A and B are shown apart, each in its own frame.
Chain A
């Protein structure tokens, strides 16, 4: 295994109990520090794939290795290394205050009280949540909840952060705020996997685009090369898809 490789997926197939096959023989490798955009129409298998990286689902056949360890043998290691930000931020909230919710993950890792506190403070600062630290999470706005979900995950200090539809139900400032934090995470050395069907918002910042179609990887290339093909896979192409992909950024 290459030193730079952090995720290796080999012949991953996932079938549900009702017989539906969500993923079919997926092969993919992800290097440390990459920013990958996973796109595809609804039901193409993106979310199921993201849950395999966090060992929430186990392969029906094939395997997923995180840092050389298979998720089936060491799910705890997979969860420490890969943080997953869920699409519905509400379902991810378990703490009664913002501070407690962020502390929940590090406490589960059995870290000392001092380390937990340091991580919580750092996550609050990073995600601009300091002023909301003692607020009830359910009273936050959609954008704030999404930032809380990200803070709760980065407090566990994973090397890889997977975002499942992080822009859904957010207004323009909300999208900009969340995107800014995702880009900052990538710049600070995290490997980022962004799962979305709304590629316009993040294509400018990704190194690579993987398009899922009917449980298979149909395209794996740079965003610039992938953009002309996206409509064929049920993804809305960005308005200026002929332009340089870097021009599409929402962070101007």
Chain B
């Protein structure tokens, strides 16, 4: 266990760690909107802002480099498939669009890594509950619990993949080059292992009197959080205005 450093909460006391989770969600949505609505300047701005945020949260990319390889491989697939699909619109256009799509994918992955690294699942629980509670008929407590528990499950899932791969390597059966076959050979034992772990986790939660409506973090609005969020969104807003009017 604990070999995988990605998509875990990394305890810390940085401004980003202490930021009200509602603003963290707002920042994340703002950045995703900019990536889908904007052009290359937005991508560059998001890259710079994420670099600043990661440095301020004391997250170093070298601690994730092994896991990032998987996402880089996926980005390469996205680039290649889009490049060949768009070739009829010209070589340059296909290359540019492929690069942007791959870049956008990596930025979204980076956002996810940063968000999970600085947000405790209990904070996510509180913010989802806060968002959904006013909507009548929506089981806010249950959905919030699902959202926060999914963050608990992700490391278990990644650790499981790592363990299965190591076990396969140790038995000399990891030579298959076909990615579909490799995926299938890992998925079967992984799902079996995960289902058993989930059953144990459910029992463990029950034995500790788990109550989905209990909030394990409280939300407090602070003006400095609003200012911090604005500082990190302002460059994107300015760019958007420039993009629309000029």
Is A94's CB under 8 angstroms from B9's CB?
no
| Chain B minimum-CB-distance residue to A80 | B209
Which residues from B are CB-within-8-Å of A152? 208
A-B contact pairs, 16 of them (CB 8 A): A76-B209, A79-B208, A86-B203, A91-B197, A92-B208, A94-B204, A94-B205, A96-B120, A100-B216, A104-B208, A105-B209, A108-B208, A135-B11, A136-B2, A138-B1, A156-B209
Chain B residues with CB under 8 Å of A54's CB are 207
Which of A56, A80, A108 is B211 in contact with, Cβ under 8 Å?
A: A108
Contact B9 A136, beta carbon cutoff 8 Å: yes
Contact check, B208 vs A100: say whether CB atoms are below 8 A apart: no
Interface status of A252 (Cβ within 8 A of chain B) = no
Most B CB within 10 A of own CB, among A51, A90, A139, A156? A90
What is the CA–CA distance of A135 and B206 in the complex, to the nearest angstrom?
A: 24
Within the complex, the shortest CB–CB distance from A145 to chain B, in Å, comes to 9
| Among A88, A134, A139, A156, contact of B208 (Cβ-Cβ < 8 Å) | A156
Which B189-243 residues sit within 8 Å CB-CB of chain A?
197, 200-201, 203-211, 214, 216
A139 nearest in chain B by CB position: B2
Interface of B toward A, CB cutoff 8 Å? 1-2, 8-11, 120-122, 149, 152, 155, 159, 197, 200-201, 203-211, 214, 216
Report the bound CA distance from A38 to B213 in whole Å: 36
CB within 8 A of B11: which of A83, A104, A109, A134?
A: A134
A56 surroundings in chain B (CB, below 8 A):
203, 206-207
Q: Please, how many angstroms separate the alpha-carbon atoms of A87 and B149 in the complex? A: 21
Known contacts A100-B120, A136-B8, A138-B2; is A91 also within 8 Å of B211 by CB?
no
Residues of chain B lying within 8 A (CB to CB) of residue A156? 208-209
Answer whether A88 and B206 are a contact pair too, CB < 8 Å, given A107-B216, A108-B214, A138-B1.
no
Residues of A within 8 A of B200 (CB): 86, 88, 91-92
Give Cα A94–Cα B202 distance, bound, in whole angstroms.
10
A80–B210 alpha-carbon span in the complex (Å): 11
Known contacts A96-B9, A138-B1; A84/B207 CB under 8 A = yes
Tell yes or no: A97 within 8 A of B by CB.
yes
Bound form: Cα–Cα A115–B209 in Å:
17
Interface readout for A162-193 with B: 1 if CB under 8 Å, 0 if not? 00000000000000000000000000000000
Q: How far is the CA of A83 from the CA of B229 in the complex (A)?
A: 43
Q: Please provide the 5 A-B residue pairs with the shortest distance between their CB atoms, ordered closest to farther.
A: A91-B200, A96-B9, A138-B2, A105-B208, A92-B204
| Any B CB within 8 A of the CB of A120 | no
Residues of A within 8 A of B197 (CB): 91
Contact of B204 among A86, A110, A135, A138 (CB under 8 A): A86
- Chain A's closest residue to B149 (CB) is A94
Residues of A within 8 A of B214 (CB): 107-108, 110
Determine the chain B residues whose CB is within 8 A of the CB of A109 once the complex forms: 209
Whether A136 pairs with B204 at a CB distance below 8 angstroms is: no
Contact flags (1/0) for A100-118 with B, using CB distance below 8 Å? Answer: 1001110111100000000
What chain A residues lie within 8 Å of B2 (beta carbons)? 136, 138-139
Q: In the complex, A103 Cα to B216 Cα: how many Å?
A: 9
Closest to B200 in A: A91
Q: How far is the CA of A75 from the CA of B121 in the complex (A)?
A: 27
Inter-chain contacts of B10 with A (CB < 8 A): 136
Q: A108 touches which one: B1, B11, B203, B209 (CB < 8 A)?
A: B209
Across-interface contacts of A104 in B (CB, < 8 A): 208, 216
Rounded to whole Å, the gap between the CB of B74 and the closest CB of chain A is 25
CB distance from B246 to the nearest CB of A (A): 45
* Distance between A151 CB and nearest chain B CB, rounded to angstroms: 12
